[in-house]
Chains A and B, each alone.
Chain A
């Protein structure tokens, strides 16, 4: 239950390979921070650096106001839940939970009380005398969480805790973690995942890591509604946001863009005189595309190659034009009849995102404050 402050934290292997740099984060007590990013972006490394399992090669890490760069893991007041659970296979559930407390030379009464409390929260009471191999995946995961609860740490660290569970169990355990957080509002949690549903549902703030740095920090809805750059725009949300090239033809409080493929988009993003004529990408989420009646402006026009009717929505896959990514639309209701047709789609100005040189027009001088610490975002998103 403490604040975490990361200042210019960096990780270099062998003095040459930069894995992470310029990581600045201010994590408040009681927050549940989720690190997401594509594989290899260093999210697990960052978590392990906070845990003390990896050396911090640059910058400073404070937990509860105290610099802990060189403090061993056990004295940092953290508890970690590993992806593989890492239960001690030769100990019963009770001994697994008691291990850290016994090492810390706590009295037997204290240990029993802590275990009783944790096993009650996690409904592990019937299993206390079983060995891990006699438990199901979800129960093992609960034991792993219980093992961290009994230590009453300042910060909980979760390293992809649900990725070994099957889909149904994953949802159930995700809800359990959300309830656990609810029950312990003062505890600070850091959660690493590559699953954006977990990130969106659990996080109080999400940190998107990419290219060795932070791409954006914000609440789930900030990331969804106001992505700072094309990377975050495409990383958050599924299916990914469509990016369509165009030229700015009108500036001011609203921006007007003439699409390269024909049509015109109007966005609520502000722009300046200097942007006039600039080449930009217009971003529209598939679910924000709507059919135009044929008279109004359209952002996109294309031939539907495939439709996927899911009942509540229909996914439209348009034919590729040139080397561009295929465009996707997501229309409410059933539209199987659109296959093979040429459709014009538009979007309301508040749903049209504009990126110049990969950066959102919203996050510029005089606009919103940038949180990204890296410009190296040419990473493949999916």
Chain B
């Protein structure tokens, strides 16, 4: 950044403050989503994601084992076990502070106390959830006694949400198919416009032909055309030429809508490449095509990469174009944005599903950005002239 005049502005603190605010604005929801996606529905309901790293105090309703488990010890019928063991799955360790046998008074007893439930017997609960239920008469019924405990549970994270959302084939609301559909739309919709635009940008920047200035003006003019304007006519056109709704139509639509910006960006970058380098290549005998492939394309890599990032993010997050040109009644071509919109309707209360689905859909853009961001700042021209 040594091309910036002056050394230290008196407003540095304002810059730092804005950076902190921006980072916070960006980071908080993202981290929240990420953390929430690893929590169970219970945890999300009882505490915020920022408390996920700390033990949580929870009120739980647990049951003792069913009367079928009882054993006879002398004159007593006894059921022993651990409250946290459910269907044979041990729960993570938790520490009980108080407990009760009625929903009206969940903190009636201290740990180690014995509660007398009359003809239902006497129960003693230890700190770790071990209990002993004994009675003079035989236990009856099919279900165990309810015990209300207030317990501190250690932080717990689970991959079950992801398993559910991504790998459960029976889940019709899963994201796996939508994920691959989105990829199928996005990758060609990024590559095709770059290919076309790079050729066009070279011609507009470095080749002499009549009407060049007019073409550039037309490209700039197209930048301001809102895409909504073209949706219906384009769809009609697609239907008439027999493409109908489908990937091809979506690729073409994304390509068309992305081209003006792509050509404009790339042309401006290429026009700034040193003329001497291109003239030298001409003296060296290279044809326009060779100059393009061997000189211009490698040197334009930062511009290509930055446009690729833009186009990728735009098509990845797109809902409108997909709805118009791609998604039909079969639902086979649903993309992730559409899937999440549907989840909001059908599973609006299941935050763990929503958070996981949302994170699945932002994970790839994040990855792309972090992998490619160095190309945005790399000056490939260092050392070529002067």
Residue B229, interface by CB 8 Å:
no
Contact B282 A86 (CB under 8 A): no
Contact B283 A99 (CB under 8 A): no
Contact B285 A100 (CB under 8 A): yes
| CA–CA, A125 and B93, complex, Å | 70
The interface residues of chain A lying within 8 Å CB-to-CB of B281 are 88, 99
- Pick the contact of B386: A79, A104, A147, A164 (CB < 8 A): A164
- Pick the contact of B285: A53, A74, A85, A147 (CB < 8 A): A74
Looking at the complex, which of A132-140, A218-226, A248-256 is the stretch in contact with chain B? A132-140
The interface residues of chain A lying within 8 Å CB-to-CB of B274 are 84, 86
Contact A90 B298 (CB under 8 A): yes
Looking at the complex, which of B132-140, B157-165, B367-375, B377-385 is the stretch in contact with chain A? B377-385
Segment 63-113 of A: residues with Cβ below 8 Å from B: 72-75, 78-80, 82-90, 99-100, 103-104
Contact A84 B299 (CB under 8 A): no
- Pick the contact of A133: B286, B290, B382 (CB < 8 A): B382
Residue B295, interface by CB 8 Å:
yes
Interchain nearest-CB distance for A256 vs B (Å): 54
Interface residues on B, range: 20 to 34
What residue of chain B has the Cβ atom nearest to residue A73's Cβ? B283
Contact B290 A88 (CB under 8 A): no
- Pick the contact of B299: A74, A79, A89 (CB < 8 A): A89
Residue picked from B277, B285, B286, B380, most chain A C-beta under 10 Å: B285
The interface residues of chain B lying within 8 Å CB-to-CB of A87 are 277, 383-385
What residue of chain B has the Cβ atom nearest to residue A82's Cβ? B276
Segment 254-298 of B: residues with Cβ below 8 Å from A: 274, 276-277, 279-286, 290, 294-295, 298
The interface residues of chain B lying within 8 Å CB-to-CB of A132 are 383-384
Interface string of B106-137 (1 = CB under 8 A from A): 00000000000000000000000000000000
Given A80-B279, A84-B274, A90-B298, 8 additional A-B pairs, CB 8 A: A73-B285, A74-B284, A87-B383, A88-B277, A89-B382, A90-B299, A103-B290, A164-B386
A-B contact pairs, 22 of them (CB 8 A): A52-B283, A73-B285, A74-B285, A74-B286, A78-B283, A79-B283, A80-B280, A82-B280, A85-B276, A85-B384, A86-B385, A87-B383, A88-B295, A89-B381, A89-B382, A90-B298, A100-B284, A103-B284, A104-B285, A131-B383, A132-B383, A137-B386
Chain B residues within CB distance 8 Å of chain A: 274, 276-277, 279-286, 290, 294-295, 298-299, 380-386
